[in-house]
Amino acid sequence: MKTLRCLLAITVAVAAVTLLTAAQRANARGKKIVKQSNKNFYHPDGTFHAVKAKQAYYDMMKRFGYPVYDKLKTDDFWAIDFGLGDFANVGMAGIFWWNDQKHDYFGHEIYLLPGQMIVEHGHVRTPEAKPKMEAWQVRHGSVYLFGEGEETNPCPVELPESQAKFITVRNAKLLKPGEIAALNRPEAKHFMVAGPDGAIVTEYATYHDNAGLRFTNPGVKF
């Protein structure tokens, strides 16, 4: 009987350790990213449904307690899928609060749904502007910022399969609310992916000239 009790105690202890280890692994992985379905954001003919996309961002704003200003209800607030037809995985919304060429400064808010990626890109010099420099501060949610540097291995977040062959920078940094990071040099390639709750990110930058945008995916439309 004593031997049986010892065996039972050992079994319970092993089970407890197994459960604890599983829980620790789950915590290490973090909260699972649950994305919406692409079918929610496209018309039957396959064209992008910007109105439904914007509503998804409004819903996220309200969930975060972020004020939906009147300006965000105008055409100044935009949502795009980069012309790739994969909005649930690759897309964004944004608003340019200010873009001043004369004094060379720019204020931008970026909105990302859970797990959504802004495609990899860089900013080059144009006849109208020097290469854009940027810094990003997370207001709500979280993002994984990818840029130049040693590859982060393992990758901390799942990257969209549709972009796999166009990704050239793999150094990742997790940014949480209040945290800020900047581009390491002019013209450096970079992209970001939202965490499990989505993200609202303020961008501080020099003047933005669309003509200076260079995407590594040649199929991107912006």
Q: Name the residue ranges covered by the structural domains of the chain.
A: 1-30, 33-215
The 10s digit of each residue's pLDDT in 66-124 is 999 999 999 999 999 999 999 999 999 999 999 999 999 999 999 999 999 999 999 99
Q: How confident is the model at residue 14 (pLDDT cuts 50, 70, 90)?
A: very low
Cβ-Cβ contacts under 8 Å for 47 (sequence gap 6 or more): none
> Which residues, 6+ apart, have CB-to-CB distance to 213 below 8 Å?
121, 122, 123, 222
* Residue 189 CA to its chain's centroid (Å): 15
Ranking 16-20, 27-31, 70-74, 100-104 by mean pLDDT, the lowest is 16-20
Q: Give the span between the Cα atoms of 72 and 111, in whole angstroms.
A: 11
pLDDT-derived band at 32 (thresholds 50, 70, 90) equals: confident
Q: Which residue has the higher pLDDT, 30 or 81?
A: 81
Using the predicted structure, report yes or no on whether residue 27 has a pLDDT greater than 80: no
Q: Is a pLDDT exceeding 90 seen at residue 37?
A: yes
Q: How far apart are CA 144 and CA 157, in angstroms?
A: 8
Q: What is the pLDDT of residue 30?
A: 66
Stretch 6-16: mean pLDDT:
39
The tens digit of pLDDT for each residue in 163-214 reads 999 999 999 999 999 999 999 999 999 999 999 999 999 999 999 999 999 9
* 23 pLDDT more than 90: no
Residue 54 tokens read as 């914007």
Q: Give the CATH architecture of domain 33-215.
A: Sandwich (2.60)
